[in-house]
Amino acid sequence: MKNSSAQSTSLSRLVSLPVIVAALGYFVDVYDLIVFNIVRVPSLKSLGLSPEEVSSVGAAIYNWQQAGLLIGGILWGVLADKRGRLSVLFGSIIMYSLANILCGFVQTPMLYGFLRFMAGVGLAGELGAGLTLVSEILPQKLRGYGSSIVASVGLLGAVVAFLTNSWFDWRTTYFAGGGLGLALLLLRIRVYESGMFEQAKTQSLRLGSMSAFFTDSTRFWKYMRCIGVGVPTYFVIGILATFSNEFAKALGITEEIVTGRCVMYVFVGMVIGDMFSGVLSQWLKSRRMAIGIMTTMTLLGVIFYLYGGITDAAAFYIVCAYLGFSIGYIAMFLTVTAESFGTNLRATATSTVANFVRATTLLTLPLYQYLKPSMGALSAGGLVALLCFAIAYLSLFLMEETFHKELDYVE
């Protein structure tokens, strides 16, 4: 009876309000983050851009959004450690919800880029603060499951974004995303702050300092490794999925490849993959081994995507879904990040790592665009992939295991 009661209590912790709200928050975050990837082609065409401009201007606008994530990751991460996890969750969602609503009114690429930048700044606060809060309120034996629930529910946001765009025009898709964000604010009112953070506030500690990651060599390299293991995930999302129409053309696929559909299949795969990676890490009792397995699966999928001789649209979409499944360790490497740093720096680390990984497209996408004219899409993609996986494997090899680590400590 005691074991049954303890198990029931554990399950109730996994479906507690903070976990549910964090999951729904990530759902809205993913919807509003990925909506540009889905509506990029139709929205830019409706603004009068040529096919060549849709590619080049679309890449520029996407990078403006990623630059916003980079800046916002630092801003919200520091604020989450200084002011609290909840204050960031409230502030960020207001900012990105309003920016997405305004995106539905754009008439020029310049304004479009500015609003995607503002949306990126706002979106940067959601995932890191939410996962930090969940990691701190759940016991060690449940953290992997908790992060998987948050990620799997959240990633469905991309599916809903695609379906919304299928049923309505691209402007309505933006309105819906912004409206969902504002509606989520009502749920946030009842969520409580992390007890670990409240305790840390009473101590004379340096809270939310970015410089802390650069003034200590051990902490710096630990931070870099947390970023490094995630690099392949946004290579898949930011290049292979977002520019899937270009890769399909290079492969000789004659059927039309809908970029938004590729993005949706990647995120459908990620829903299942994030659940799988969480359970896998709990079963192996190792975060590193779970990430290593998923990274290797991603590598094999990328090789097949680029060089497997895919000839039809159905097979191409299936490979996109597989790649989504294999990169379903995003919540896992962010859980590792949360477990790697003390309470006074945890939200800063988790938020900035999440968004620095997203912002790696600021480097990989220009590199791909630079190499593509001379090498072709497939070879350019392969070279960028080689760089991303080299960084990931080196980072994983040097990373510490955090599965059994207790989080009630400070730096």
| Each residue's pLDDT tens digit, 340-389 | 888 777 878 887 888 889 889 889 989 999 999 999 999 999 999 999 99
**Cα separation, 181 vs 158, whole angstroms:** 14
**Cα separation, 72 vs 83, whole angstroms:** 15
Q: For the domain that residue 297 is a member of, what is the CATH number?
A: 1.20.1250.20
Q: Quote the pTM value.
A: 0.76
Contact 330, 274 (CB under 8 A): yes
pLDDT reading at 289 higher than 90: yes
Of 22-31, 103-112, 142-151, minimum mean pLDDT range: 142-151
Which domain range does residue 122 map to? 17-190+213-398
**Cα separation, 252 vs 306, whole angstroms:** 12
Task: Tell me, yes or no, whether 123 lies in a domain.
Answer: yes
- Written as six digits, the tokens of 135 are 């990691």
Higher pLDDT residue, 209 or 355? 355
Give the model's pLDDT for residue 93: 80
User: Residue 75's closest CA among 113, 111, 130, 128?
Assistant: 128
85 pLDDT band (50/70/90 cuts)? low
Give the model's pLDDT for residue 409: 65
User: Residue 221's closest CA among 397, 40, 35?
Assistant: 397
Looking at residues 201-205, what average pLDDT do you find? 50
Give the model's pLDDT for residue 152: 76
Contact 323, 269 (CB under 8 A): yes
Task: Tell me, yes or no, whether 175 lies in a domain.
Answer: yes
- Written as six digits, the tokens of 99 are 């920016």
Give the model's pLDDT for residue 78: 76
- Written as six digits, the tokens of 165 are 């765009």
pLDDT reading at 199 higher than 60: no
The most confident of the ranges 125-129, 150-154, 270-274 is 270-274
Contact 14, 149 (CB under 8 A): yes
| Each residue's pLDDT tens digit, 2-41 | 444 444 445 566 666 777 777 887 888 888 888 998 898 8
Q: Which helix (H) or strand (E) holds 333?
A: helix 330-340
Of 7-16, 21-30, 231-240, 399-408, minimum mean pLDDT range: 7-16
Higher pLDDT residue, 38 or 290? 290
**Cα separation, 185 vs 181, whole angstroms:** 7
pLDDT reading at 112 higher than 90: yes
Number of domains in the chain: 1
Task: Tell me, yes or no, whether 260 lies in a domain.
Answer: yes
Task: Tell me, yes or no, whether 6 lies in a domain.
Answer: no
Burial code (b: 16+ CB inside 10 Å, e: under 16) for 362-399 equals bebbeebbebbeeeebbebbbebbeebbebbbebbeeb
Instruction: Transcribe 279-305 into DSSP letters.
Output: HHHHHHT-HHHHHHHHHHHHHHHHHHH
Residues above pLDDT 70, as percent of the chain: 84
User: Residue 384's closest CA among 225, 235, 230, 227?
Assistant: 235
- According to DSSP, residue 210 is labeled G
Give the model's pLDDT for residue 326: 96
Contact 112, 45 (CB under 8 A): no
Q: Is 19 exposed, middle or buried (0-12, 13-18, 19+ CB in 10 A)?
A: buried
pLDDT reading at 45 higher than 50: yes
Task: Tell me, yes or no, whether 198 lies in a domain.
Answer: no
Task: Tell me, yes or no, whether 207 lies in a domain.
Answer: no
Task: Tell me, yes or no, whether 52 lies in a domain.
Answer: yes
CA-based torsion, 168, 273, 148, 213: positive or negative: negative
Looking at residues 151-178, what average pLDDT do you find? 88
Task: Tell me, yes or no, whether 150 lies in a domain.
Answer: yes
- According to DSSP, residue 406 is labeled -
